[in-house]
Amino acid sequence: MKPACGPDFLGPLLGHATHLARERMDARLSRYDMTPSQTHTLLYLSSHGYTAPQRDVVEHLRVRPSTANGILDRMEEKGLIRRTADENDQRQKQVTATEKGRELNSLVQAAFQEAEAVMVKGLRLEETEALRLLLYRVIENLEEDRTTC
Domain limits, the chain = 10-148
CB of 138 within 8 A of CB of 14?
Answer: yes
122: left (phi over 0), alpha (psi -120 to 50) or beta: left
Nearest to 18 by CA among 137, 127, 115: 115
Residues whose CB falls within 8 Å of the CB of residue 36, separated by 6 or more in sequence, listed in order: 22, 25, 26, 29
Q: Choose which CATH entry (1.10.760.10, 3.40.50.720, 1.10.10.10, 3.40.190.80) describes domain 10-148.
A: 1.10.10.10
Could you read off the pLDDT tens digit of each residue along the chain, which spans 149 residues?
555 555 578 888 899 999 999 898 888 888 898 888 999 999 999 999 999 999 999 999 999 999 999 999 999 999 999 999 888 877 889 999 999 999 999 999 999 899 999 999 999 999 999 999 999 999 999 988 877 76
